[in-house]
Chains A and B, each alone.
Chain A
Amino acid sequence: TQLLEQSPQFLSIQEGENLTVYCNSSSVFSSLQWYRQEPGEGPVLLVTVVTGGEVKKLKRLTFQFGDARKDSSLHITAAQPGDTGLYLCAGGAGGTSYGKLTFGQGTILTVHP
């Protein structure tokens, strides 16, 4: 069974601070997605990484896939109140289970003005 562990589970910071969320597993994933979810809504895809060591930037968000494709991180620079939400990482298994994503339990981020 593939598991993804996210840390921290909760993060409460002031506007302008930087933060990093981690997503770790003992399993190798063929791809890894990061999503952001608002209360009562479905997850919204932020980025997909597929190559070990890959780094992608989306404005103030930087995503990195570990060299061994077992872990990933999300770094937010100068956080804003609009960044508040639940951040989820999800791994694509590949092989015969390439249809499903395995999700971490999420990181609830609150950015105070």
Chain B
Amino acid sequence: DTGVSQNPRHKITKRGQNVTFRCDPISEHNRLYWYRQTLGQGPEFLTYFQNEAQLEKSRLLSDRFSAERPKGSFSTLEIQRTEQGDSAMYLCASSLPGLVNEQFFGPGTRLTVL
């Protein structure tokens, strides 16, 4: 049994570069979420997929951010033209459908923009 996995675990990039992160959810989970967490804060919601459909996006998700889940399995989060303010931990979570919505998180990708 594997939980949610994320790759890479760490990414260091220069300002202005593009980066892409991958999330593999728990296999039977059809819901997938992306969150961002900065130091000393709780995670903030970015976006949410049910199967391949992106159902909700936060206002935090500027037009430099794009997320996909093309086959309803793994998901990618791309940040174009990175800025220093994008430095954060990017967390992915997955869940089964239902009102209780227990979300299980991956280990995260730590992004540092120099």
Contacts and interface: CB of A to CB of B under 8 A. Distances in A.
B58 to A, nearest CB: 8
B43 interface: yes
A33 B44 contact: no
A25 interface: no
A106 B101 contact: no
Interface string A89-112: 010101001111111111000000
B99 A98 contact: yes
Interface residues of A, number: 28
Contact of A101 (B6, B50, B101, B106): B101
Interface in B10-65: 31, 33, 35, 40-45, 48, 50, 55-56, 58
B40 A33 contact: no
Interface string B55-98: 11010000000000000000000000000000000010100000
Interface in A47-82: 48, 50
A105 B37 CA distance: 10
A44 interface: yes
Interface of B: 4, 6, 31, 33, 35, 40-45, 48, 50, 55-56, 58, 91, 93, 99-108, 110
The 5 closest A-B pairs by CB, nearest first: A103-B42, A42-B105, A99-B48, A100-B45, A92-B101
25 contacts: A31-B102, A33-B103, A35-B105, A40-B110, A42-B6, A42-B105, A45-B103, A45-B105, A48-B100, A48-B102, A88-B42, A88-B43, A98-B101, A99-B31, A100-B45, A100-B48, A100-B56, A100-B58, A101-B43, A101-B103, A103-B43, A103-B44, A104-B42, A106-B40, A106-B42
